[in-house]
Amino acid sequence: MRYSELLASLGLVVAITAAYFALTSATGVPAASSLVGHLMGIVGFTLMLLTETLYSLRKRAMRRPRGSMRAWLRVHIIMGIVGPYLVLLHTAWTFQGLAGVLTLLMVLVVGSGFIGRYIYAAVPRTADGVVVEAQELTEQLTGLRAADAADPNPTTDAARREHRAIERRIRRLERQMAALRWQRRALATWHAVHIPIGMAMFVVAFTHIAATVYYSTLLR
């Protein structure tokens, strides 16, 4: 299924929300400093770290890579949604100081992640999901245009049908080439925005964690 990772993420968010409301109805909203609050923050932040590290490591794995990039991307998206949601619940709906800045950055990262998912889905692919490369499209276009130019005015019905079929394939390949050019430009722009925001988010997150540990344990 094309958007199975989004459905899986939605299912997990719904399950977590149901458990959270069951908890709050019994004991109230857990404070960020409570055991439950800390657990949600730790699990959520761990998922966020894994979101950034595991997928990046898989992309750079040149020897004996495990799993397809599509499968790793799905895991990346699921953790990238569930992790921030757990961190959001960890805040106990208070957004002051570093926690507020972190929440804002987190929302921006998740939002830009959805945009990146849309760009990824717009990449031209074959029937089995393999990304079509620009060189392959160019070679196909060159061959079809040569075949079209060889008989520009067909006289028989069979030749006319073949001529129309070639023209349709040329138009489809030209649309794929345009989509591929747009995708590359959009992806470059997206990386230029998404990566710095993500880095800033983790800097603020580590600062927030260090401050929490310092004030809650070392100063006691």
pLDDT of residue 20: 92
Q: Please tell me the predicted confidence (pLDDT) of residue 127.
A: 46
Average pLDDT for runs of 10 along the chain of length 220: 78 94 88 87 91 75 65 85 92 81 90 85 56 66 73 72 80 80 84 90 89 69
For residue 128, the model assigns a pLDDT of: 43
Q: 207-215: long-range contacts at Cβ-Cβ below 8 A with a sequence spacing of 24 or more?
A: 207/98, 208/98, 208/99, 208/102, 209/45, 211/98
DSSP 146-203: HHHHHSSS--SHHHHHHHHHHHHHHHHHHHHHHHHHHHHHHHHHHHHHHHHHHHHHHH
Structure tokens at 206: 């580590």
pLDDT of res. 73: 79
Contacts of 142 (CB under 8 A, 6+ apart): none
Alpha helices (H) along the chain: 4-27, 35-60, 69-90, 97-121, 134-150, 157-213
Q: What is the pTM of this model?
A: 0.71
Amino acid 129: pLDDT = 45
